[in-house]
Structure 1
Amino acid sequence: MAEAGSTTPATREAPWPVALMSDKIAAWIDRLGQVWIEGEVTQWQLRGGHVYGKLKDLSRDATVSFTVWRSVAQRLTSDFAAGDRVIALVKPNFWVKGGSLTVQVFELSHVGLGELLERLERLRRQLQAEGLFDPNRKRALPFLPGLIGLVTGRDSDAEKDVIRNATLRWPGVRFKIHYAAVQGDRAAAEVAAGIEALDRDPEVQVIIVARGGGDFQNLLPFSDERVVRAAASATTPLVSAIGHEADRPLLDEVADLRASTPTDAAKRVVPDVGEELAGIDQARARMSGRLGQLLAHETDRITQLRGRPVLAQPERIVDDRAEELVRWIARGTELADRAVEDRARALSETRARLSALSPRATLERGYAIAQLADGAVLRDPADAPDGTAIRVALAGGRIAATSNGPA
């Protein structure tokens, strides 16, 4: 038996050990290095942050197992599932112990339609991170635009639908049309140029970008970054009317208003003259009715006020107050006279009391008051010895006298 690591060819007499053959297979596969492969994912399982799956050839019956380690899985920019067509940068590895071949994935991305979806998703996330989809950026449309800018294909059904429905709703509406390719390689640049040109026109008050639907690939120009950024930079309110419900292009996200169809765009941008006139008539009728009710209510209030006695016979208040005033004047005069009489009587009584107590009244009854020279009243004869000059006060006046001593 050949020893491990031997370069001797294996023979019946000297066969290689299984491990030797496995080591040689592993070494040969390891020399292959990293390669790009393409296939369809038939199994995708996430365990512990790692991904284990199988990749099937697109035309032949061949399948290989693959592993995406956590560090690589975290860098993947889109979601993957069974059935996705992908391209991958892999390095084949032969597991000696189990005798199985697996490939380690270093890069993984969609191809074909999946690749387009992946690119669109990356662009969507980028624009959303920049705030271009923020609802606060969206502007209100004018009630009745004087001039509508229209970006659409020449002689397209979308153009006819917008103009016909807008004219039916408001016959005086005006359009400024910028024709552009709405599919193909030229579409994105021409649509972006149309938005920018109409936005520069000061008379244009709203811009409609219209196309009559289509499949996913035909709508790709309306998800082009140039178109989306032109719409986001426009200062004029913009309406997206691509007319496709299943696949919403990125223009729908950044537009100030998304219309489901070009016809819907015309209805959302231009008011219906019939409806507006009917609304005016209804408002006028409501105003007339309300004004009539208000006038009737105020008339009733005035009638009630005029019916009150104070307004029906205003002189009654004057008469009533005049009579009351006369009564109060008479009462006041009476009280004043009574008060004067009472005060006069009290004064007379006080005067009489004063007169009765006055020294003069005593003198008039024949009495006299003897006073010494200093004015002191003489009360005791001993106070006036013989020869003392005294004065005697009488009712009619004063006389001088000389005391002869006590009698």
Structure 2
Amino acid sequence: MTSFQPETVAGQAPPADSVHPRDSRTDAPTSVSRLNDTIRGFIERWGSVWVEGEITSFNRRGGNVFGRLKDLGTESTVAFRIWSSTLNRLPKDLKVGDHVVACVKADYFPRTGDFSFSISAMRHVGLGEQLERLEALRVQLRTEGLFDPVRKKKLPFLPHCIGLITGENSDAEKDVHRNAELRWPRVRFRTKHAAVQGERCVPETIAALKALDADPDVDVIVIARGGGDPQTLLGFSDERLLRAVATASTPIVSAIGHENDRPLLDDVADVRASTPTDAAKRVVPDVSEQRALVAQLRARLTGRLTQRVLHDIAQLEQVRSRPALRTPHSMLTARAQELWMLSNRGRDIVDRRIEGERRRTSELGAGLRALSPLATLARGYAIAQLPDGSVLRDAADAPVGTVLRVTVEQGSVAARSEGVVPDAVAHTASTAAGAGERQPVATERSDAPAPAERPLDAEATGDGVSVGPA
């Protein structure tokens, strides 16, 4: 303890360092140094104390640990320090949320007036009640599929309007705005302020989330908060907020605390950003990078098109250099001569074919005329037909009085049979006819109507009986 040497002067107030805190008054105050030294002397008499609590903060800096220990039943906390020499003797798995029993000794620094506890021993009792609740909620939400990457929505490439939920006038708000505007100057924000710790944190954050989710202009929502110990971040692990985030239709980015802070909101949100600055980088693209990418793509496209055009020009020149295209008239001349020869040959073949068919037609016509019954009639023969139209082939089929139809070269005449002519008479008639004497036919014309005419061609192929020369 500092030894104070009061130097009093008669008629003046005593020096502040000479006044003990219990003797201080308005006209004789004590000094800050004397007060701090008195407090330190009082605290040093406490000695070491065993205390039970839950670790809510555990930060390593320079080989030492600085953290806070929370009461299990209330919100009371104390700060503690673990020096590197002591840390080597403690369990290696100490972390936030552990339920521990620690041997602490009060430590007061007169120069700064800071009060904390130095830990000389610490052991596990089990998971803290708070950590147990968070772990149980984590398991439940994972079972329900709220952590499943399949259900998470993708961020838009370039959001026109960003919804931001953060504390009023907070550093997180400034970081998001500044970094987003540096990357894309034309980006717009729609900010909703809400408490980021304490009892108002959850209801105000949910109300802001619903308002931004219902806004059709908002393309993505960022929930941002600066760093803090796990105790102050509990609101972002609340089940009500987590389920509201899971049911939102707008993509949500969680930017809570620092890299080591992992509230359950990070697992439920569509994208987890380690810091508010990281959230701004994830939400909007860098305009300079996009311009460089566009320039690169345009250069590649120009190179490809130029290469293609040059290749096509070379191909065209190669085609044009071929003989067929260099002197195309030679190919036409050769083909014209060949075409003339082929046309003459075709004309000769057609003429010969037509002449041959003409001769064949004449031959067939002559044969047809020779076989036609009309030619027989033209030589002086006649065809006799019975009343039923059949050709008379036997004289016995035409008794006396039978009406006959006699067809000659030019038309037909009606006749009546006088009966069968004896062979001698027939022979005499034939002889007389051969001598140029015309004998009357042994028929007589009848006034009875002639039988129905039948086409001569119907009996053209038959062997009808011919009446001698008329």
Alignment of 1:317-396 (within 5 A): 317-335=331-349, 388-390=428-430
Corresponding residue number in structure 2 for 1:299: 313
Give the 3-state SS of the residue equivalent to 1:296 in structure 2: helix
Query: Does 2:272 correspond to 1:258?
Result: yes
Give the 3-state SS of the residue equivalent to 2:230 in structure 1: coil
Contact 1:147 1:203 in 2 (8 A): yes
Give 2:232's match in structure 1, choosing from 200, 218, 224: 218
Q: Give the 3 Å change call, closer, same or farther, for CA 179–319 of structure 1 in structure 2.
A: same
Q: Give the 3 Å change call, closer, same or farther, for CA 391–122 of structure 1 in structure 2.
A: farther
Give 1:205's match in structure 2, choosing from 219, 223, 240: 219
Give the 3-state SS of the residue equivalent to 1:213 in structure 2: coil
1:137 deviation in Å?
1.9
Q: Give the 3 Å change call, closer, same or farther, for CA 211–391 of structure 1 in structure 2.
A: farther
Q: Work out the CA distance in 2 between the residues paired with 1:311 and 1:392.
A: 94
Query: Does 2:152 correspond to 1:138?
Result: yes
1:347 deviation in Å?
12
Q: Give the 3 Å change call, closer, same or farther, for CA 347–244 of structure 1 in structure 2.
A: closer
Amino acid at match of 2:311: H
Q: Work out the CA distance in 1 between the residues paired with 2:270 and 2:361.
A: 104
Give 1:164's match in structure 2, choosing from 178, 187, 191: 178
Contact 1:146 1:173 in 2 (8 A): yes
Q: Work out the CA distance in 1 between the residues paired with 2:170 and 2:140.
A: 33
CA RMSD of aligned residues (A): 4.3
Q: Give the 3 Å change call, closer, same or farther, for CA 392–289 of structure 1 in structure 2.
A: farther
Contact 1:188 1:227 in 2 (8 A): yes
Query: Does 2:230 correspond to 1:229?
Result: no
Q: Give the 3 Å change call, closer, same or farther, for CA 113–221 of structure 1 in structure 2.
A: farther
1:164 deviation in Å?
1.5
Query: Does 2:168 correspond to 1:115?
Result: no
Query: How many corresponding residue pairs?
Result: 274
Corresponding residue number in structure 2 for 1:242: 256
Contact 2:205 2:241 in 1 (8 A): yes
Query: Does 2:174 correspond to 1:153?
Result: no
1:309 deviation in Å?
4.3
1:145 deviation in Å?
1.4
1:192 deviation in Å?
2.0
Amino acid at match of 1:295: V
Amino acid at match of 1:329: S
Give the 3-state SS of the residue equivalent to 2:165 in structure 1: strand
Contact 2:225 2:256 in 1 (8 A): yes
Give 1:185's match in structure 2, choosing from 199, 202, 205: 199
Give the 3-state SS of the residue equivalent to 1:267 in structure 2: helix
Corresponding residue number in structure 1 for 2:409: none
Amino acid at match of 1:278: A
Q: Work out the CA distance in 1 between the residues paired with 2:244 and 2:345.
A: 98
1:202 deviation in Å?
2.3
Amino acid at match of 1:294: R
Q: Deviations over 1:219-244 (max 9, x none)?
A: 11110112212212222211001134
Corresponding residue number in structure 1 for 2:298: 284
Give the 3-state SS of the residue equivalent to 1:215 in structure 2: coil
Q: Work out the CA distance in 2 between the residues paired with 1:346 and 1:232.
A: 100
Corresponding residue number in structure 2 for 1:358: none
Contact 2:163 2:191 in 1 (8 A): yes
Amino acid at match of 1:178: K
Contact 2:99 2:126 in 1 (8 A): no
Q: Work out the CA distance in 1 between the residues paired with 2:433 and 2:221.
A: 132
Query: Does 2:289 correspond to 1:275?
Result: yes
Q: Work out the CA distance in 2 between the residues paired with 1:276 and 1:137.
A: 29
Q: Give the 3 Å change call, closer, same or farther, for CA 233–168 of structure 1 in structure 2.
A: same
Q: TM-score, length-normalised on structure 2?
A: 0.49
1:84 deviation in Å?
5.5
Q: Work out the CA distance in 2 between the residues paired with 1:140 and 1:346.
A: 91
Contact 1:390 1:400 in 2 (8 A): no
Contact 1:146 1:174 in 2 (8 A): yes
Give the 3-state SS of the residue equivalent to 1:181 in structure 2: coil
Q: Work out the CA distance in 2 between the residues paired with 1:246 and 1:258.
A: 12
Contact 2:99 2:127 in 1 (8 A): no
Q: Work out the CA distance in 2 between the residues paired with 1:230 and 1:249.
A: 15
Q: Give the 3 Å change call, closer, same or farther, for CA 340–177 of structure 1 in structure 2.
A: closer
1:154 deviation in Å?
2.4
Q: Give the 3 Å change call, closer, same or farther, for CA 134–339 of structure 1 in structure 2.
A: closer
Contact 1:151 1:180 in 2 (8 A): yes
State, as a whole percentage, how many aligned pairs show the same letter: 58
Contact 1:243 1:259 in 2 (8 A): no
Query: Does 2:135 correspond to 1:124?
Result: no
Q: Give the 3 Å change call, closer, same or farther, for CA 342–250 of structure 1 in structure 2.
A: closer
Alignment of 1:12-51 (within 5 A): none
Q: Give the 3 Å change call, closer, same or farther, for CA 161–322 of structure 1 in structure 2.
A: same
Q: TM-score, length-normalised on structure 1?
A: 0.56
Contact 1:183 1:218 in 2 (8 A): yes
- Unmatched tracts of structure 2, length 5 or more: 1-51, 54-97, 102-123, 363-422, 439-470
